[in-house]
A and B are shown apart, each in its own frame.
Chain A
């Protein structure tokens, strides 16, 4: 009976969508960054899989269907860049400078820290794209030979930490310029951080959402050329 249910792709589809809906509801009710819908959905699904001893391969029959939509989701990032083209054109040099500096610093920091601590290369490769937007990060992790689920875990952690710590980092690094605040938040902590940027100001949020696409592209190019 159990196999009959879990071996259908419908199981993975249903459990994923239901958990995410629950996650969105909890997130909206509490309004706290730590109650991220993606994080809640993952914990719920993993709990179900472990509790009922369901293998990931069974879950992933449905999961893979949802995963297919990463393509359109990534492609549509250019929709938001294009819609904000006035803002992009206005600050293009600063956005390019900031996202390039941030992406390069991020990759160097991760590789240096990884070799310092002495973790294995698979884990290091999984961490390299952890600051960029999720669909791009998953793609980069796969091309680098990383484990994409580790990338998503590090990415969630970075995003939630970035969301919570953004006001503190603005203060201790004395970042007064609003464009700089937006670019830094988007580059360092992708879309989860961007939701905090939107709270700080609509202009900062818009810049942040542009920066997260740019840093994703730059990181992918660096990964393709040098790693």
Chain B
């Protein structure tokens, strides 16, 4: 019963996110708006973490299962993959290094600024 209520609640929040996304003047994913709605509900204390625990544990344990169909869709685009796998792989790897470097150095810089101000 608890899990059924949690699932219904999560689907209603997602639906609400989609509705808000539809009304926005710019395109922004409804699933992300649903995420903000849930964060607000948790922050306001309207929903407690314990009330969602079972579903949260289940979805985090098997999270990647829900990405499988979106990935399998690549069979529809095998031609793009065959002709563009070199740029796809090289861009992915090069940008991985750049992203890692930028994130790490920005954190180190901000921690350095904070420690300097604390002195």
Proximity string of chain B (65-88) to chain A, C-beta cutoff 8 Å, 1 when within and 0 when not: 111111111111100110010011
Residue contact B96 to A184, C-beta cutoff 8 Å: no
A80 within 8 A of B: yes
Which secondary structure characterizes the binding site on chain B? helix
Chain A positions within 8 Å of B27 at CB level:
143, 224
A183-B94 contact, Cβ under 8 Å, with A71-B31, A76-B60, A149-B76: no
Residues of B within 8 A of A100 (CB): 106
Interface residues of A (CB under 8 A from B): 12, 16-17, 19-20, 36-38, 41-42, 45-46, 49-50, 56, 59-60, 63-64, 66-67, 69-83, 93-95, 97-106, 109-110, 113-114, 117, 119, 123, 127, 130-131, 134-136, 138-140, 142-143, 147-150, 152-154, 156-158, 161-162, 165-166, 169-170, 173, 175, 177, 179-181, 183-185, 187-189, 191, 211, 215-217, 220-221, 224-225
Give the size of the chain B interface in residues (CB under 8 angstroms).
Answer: 74
- At the interface, yes or no: B11 with Cβ under 8 Å from chain A? yes
Neighbouring A residues of B36 by C-beta, 8 Å:
78
Q: Indicate if the CB atoms of A46 and B74 lie closer than 8 Å.
A: yes
Contact partner, B70, options A101, A138, A157, Cβ 8 Å: A138
Q: List, sorted by A's number, 27 A–B pairs whose CB atoms are closer than 8 Å.
A: A16-B68, A41-B65, A42-B71, A49-B72, A56-B72, A71-B17, A75-B31, A94-B107, A97-B109, A98-B103, A98-B104, A101-B105, A105-B102, A134-B70, A135-B66, A138-B70, A139-B29, A153-B71, A157-B89, A161-B93, A177-B107, A181-B104, A184-B101, A184-B104, A191-B64, A217-B35, A224-B28
